[in-house]
Amino acid sequence: MLVHIPNVLTADELREVRTIIEAEAWIDGKATAGDQAATAKFNLQITEGSPAGMKAGDIILKALGRNPTFNSAALPFRVLPPLFNRYDAGMKFDSHVDGAIRMIPHTGIRMRADVSSTLFLTEPSDYDGGELVIDDSYGSHSVKLPAGDMVVYPATSLHNVTPITRGSRWSSFFWTQSMVKDDGKRTMLYDLDLAIIEVRRRLGDHESASVALVSHYHNLLRRWAEL
């Protein structure tokens, strides 16, 4: 399931995140890549766990906490602290799959990466190229979103970032361990949640159809959730 989530960050939050990371040093993105990904990765990153990166990441985590679409689509159990990358002219990231297990910094806790997220921090007009291309059973999807918008997609997906030919593309990326690890089941719950919202809008909260759908949603989540 691929979901575009608009306006994750407000204009003020976007400005603050950009101000923080613009003053930070950037390192070769291969530093956080696995053996296979390192041969495909040509970008820059802010050092994982840096004070500036953590401060900017906290702004994003707070925004995620209030975003109903993210919480419905990802059903988050654990969210890895956001990281930040940058693609300048000539940079790219060839096709790869994200690593399955990630270490949460400074905790000794490992988490399963079920959902990948990319939050765009530069406007599409600021650069050429740099599309995030995600492959799934329905084909390839090219994603290039306004600053402050985010895309979430299964971490099992083969994906790449096309070469930048002009300008610079900045983004935040991170992984979520979902309460429901199977993407097919998450998709069914997300679709059911959207249907519930529409039924409640039309009929109200106390009609039998609304109550029945909400009951089914929570009983499916109870059956499938892993905590």
pLDDT of residue 224: 98
Question: How does pLDDT run along the chain (227 residues), one tens digit per residue?
Answer: 999 999 999 999 999 999 999 999 999 998 766 666 668 899 999 999 999 999 999 999 999 999 999 999 999 999 999 999 999 999 999 999 999 999 998 899 999 999 999 999 999 999 999 999 999 888 999 999 999 999 999 999 999 999 999 999 999 999 999 999 999 999 999 999 999 999 999 998 888 999 999 999 999 999 999 98
> What is the rounded CA–CA span in Å between residue 16 and residue 42?
26
Buried b (16+ CB within 10 A) or exposed e, 72-85: bbbbbbbbbbbbbb
172: DSSP letter: E
Alpha-carbon torsion 54, 157, 66, 75, what sign? Answer: negative
Give the start-to-end residue ranges of the domains of the chain.
3-178, 183-224
Contacts of the segment 50-56: beta carbons below 8 A, 24+ positions apart: 50/24, 52/20, 52/21, 52/23, 52/24, 53/21, 53/24, 53/81, 53/82, 53/83, 53/84, 54/81, 55/20, 56/16, 56/17, 56/20, 56/21, 56/82, 56/84, 56/172
Written out in words, the top-level CATH class of the domain with range 3-178 is mainly beta
> What is the rounded CA–CA span in Å between residue 116 and residue 132?
12
Instruction: Find, among 166, 155, 163, the residue nearest to 114 by Cα.
Output: 155
pLDDT of residue 33: 66
pLDDT of residue 31: 74
pLDDT of residue 106: 84
